[in-house]
Chains A and B, each alone.
Chain A
């Protein structure tokens, strides 16, 4: 009908250029990871999976992946429990003081992690938490809380508070109300928050650079060393695997969003 105002050819062309700028440089790592050469380059004669083989058979890479995975799982758990309960409490009480609490929870998003890392280095030295699984998990968990608070608060905004009041007035205790009335309704928001908190920990480098050294050596730390020391094609293979993993997590999130009422 031509009723709605659509972008013109000029705007569309520009938008395509920007989208290519966003996506092409990332996708270049795919052919590079499949190179048959020993150094970082495009494949010359044939495609080869040898660099993936290097990664999969390297104890260093596998160990780093494993450590990152467990730290991410543990810190996600911490962030989800603390963040979800906090978002529910703030939502239900909803006063000026809880607005303040919510603002406090968002601080890790606003304040650069370099500042936090500097303070944490000294702080954890006193608590003997440097280079420990527990230390990194606590740091990642606390900085993961904002993601959960945001997604759960968004889910709660669409929740009818009268359901909660009805449950309470029919004699349900707080635990029962949470378990049977509130949590099932906001589950998609919680899962979204968990996914983002997981990615946050999985990718986090700056804090780890300060508070971990030998015993705790995560995947981002290993990649960081790789970029600074030897740029070999195995790095590209790791990068591709990481991208695939992230895209899968995002697709999962999109799928859950679609099922949301």
Chain B
């Protein structure tokens, strides 16, 4: 529609993208200055980001010897398959739980009055920006054998032996969900904010119960946000290093820590690089599948081209 109106030579919206362009005929030369502004970032990104990434792919195909030998391990090595299985299991669990918890928060925030809303948003933003190391450290303090939870339960006589709360999958999931909930809330908030509150009031006014309003009106309308949040949490979980490494205690390995182990400790560069490449492939495939269903640009907040 926008393109059509531009061809007709009138601009329905002054902020529309067409208006930003240099007038026809003064084309590229006039834009050259603006292209020069983009140049430093593109150069930096190419030399110090893309080039190292290409290196990963190259290593996976050439070491220890050229060929697809490392990729063959995906089908033959039991330890490779085990780490992929563990990673997928933990990521799916984390995504489901983080979506449930995040949904509750986003629902509450969306329907609150603006004054209340600010505080709840802060409760989501503060954990989001607190160092992941600090949060993992807090969980270790709470959950380890002599941790505060076990000590309290033992002092209260509820248990006689400390519960194994950390350095296993349970600990990883608790810590990861804690990290991911804010990431789940943000896209859901954006999407729920677009739900017309009058629809909800109208449904109520027509005699629907709270539950019915939620199930028949709110939930279906919030679906795009739910999917966006799910994609975001899942791809962030796949390559997550810090929390699983600390709360897994080296016993439960997820992909990121496994890669680090292969490369820094075992010096198996080819195998580690192969897994790193597969990690990126898995993420890009996930994005490609869901980019049809949700506006990915909105997930990553790449505003600008509204």
- Write the residues of chain A forming the contact surface with B, with a CB cutoff of 8 angstroms: 3-8, 10-12, 14-15, 18-19, 21-23, 25-26, 28-29, 32, 40-42, 78, 81-83, 85-95, 98-99, 101-116, 118-124, 138-139, 141-143, 145, 149-150, 153-154, 156-157, 160-162, 174, 199, 202-203, 205-206, 209-210, 220, 223-224, 227-228, 231, 235-236, 239, 242-243, 246-247, 249-250
Name B260's closest neighbour in chain A (CB-CB): A114
Interface centre among B41, B56, B287 (most CB of A within 10 A): B41
B303 touches A145 (CB 8 A): no
Residues of A within 8 A of B41 (CB): 82-83, 85-86, 101, 105, 145, 149
CA distance A94 to B34 in the complex (A): 10
Report whether B14 and A28 are in contact in the complex, using a CB–CB cutoff of 8 Å: no
Known: A6-B112, A25-B138, A28-B138. A122 touches B38 (CB 8 A): no
Say yes or no: is B280 at the interface (Cβ < 8 Å to chain A). Answer: yes
Contact with A150, one of B15, B59, B239, B300 (Cβ below 8 angstroms): B300
Contact between chains at B126 and A23 (CB < 8 Å)? yes
Cα distance A98–B306 in the bound complex, in angstroms: 14
The residue from A11, A94, A107, A114 contacting B241, defined by CB atoms under 8 A apart:
A114
Among A5, A14, A161, the residue within 8 A (CB) of B111 is: A5
Question: CB of B17 within 8 A of chain A?
Answer: yes
**Given A115, A141, A153, which contacts B303 in the complex, CB threshold below 8 Å?**
A153
Nearest B residue (CB) for A117: B260
A89, B45: Cβ atoms closer than 8 Å: no
Q: Is the interface of B mostly helix, strand, loop or mixed?
A: helix
- Known pairs A98-B38, A121-B263, A142-B44; A162 contacts B14 (CB<8 A): yes
- B45, A105: Cβ atoms closer than 8 Å: yes
Cβ–Cβ < 8 Å partners of B104 in chain A: 11, 14-15, 18
Secondary structure type dominating chain A contacts: helix
The list of the 10 closest CB pairs from A to B, nearest first, reads A112-B239, A153-B304, A119-B52, A86-B41, A15-B108, A89-B37, A5-B200, A154-B303, A89-B38, A82-B41
A99 cross-chain contacts in B, Cβ below 8 A = 305
Instruction: Report Cα–Cα, A107/B44, bound state, in Å.
Output: 13
Q: How many residues of B contact A (CB 8 A)?
A: 98
Is B80 an interface residue when CB atoms closer than 8 A count as contact?
no
Cα separation A194 to B66 with both chains bound (whole Å): 43
Interface string of B8-23 (1 = CB under 8 A from A): 0000001101011100
User: What's the least CB distance linking A52 to chain B, in Å?
Assistant: 15
Instruction: Tell me the nearest residue of chain A to B57, going by C-beta.
Output: A119
- Taking CB atoms, residues of chain B closer than 8 Å to A3 are 201
A138 to B108, CA, bound (A): 41
Contact B303 A23 (CB under 8 A): no
Within the complex, what minimum Cβ distance (angstroms) separates B263 from chain A? 6
12 further A-B pairs in the complex, CB-CB below 8 A; given A90-B38, A220-B133:
A15-B105, A23-B126, A26-B130, A110-B300, A118-B263, A119-B56, A123-B55, A209-B260, A209-B264, A210-B260, A231-B140, A246-B130
18 chain-A/chain-B pairs, Cβ below 8 angstroms: A4-B201, A7-B108, A25-B138, A28-B148, A82-B44, A103-B302, A110-B287, A114-B260, A115-B277, A116-B52, A154-B301, A157-B306, A161-B20, A203-B132, A227-B140, A239-B131, A243-B134, A249-B129
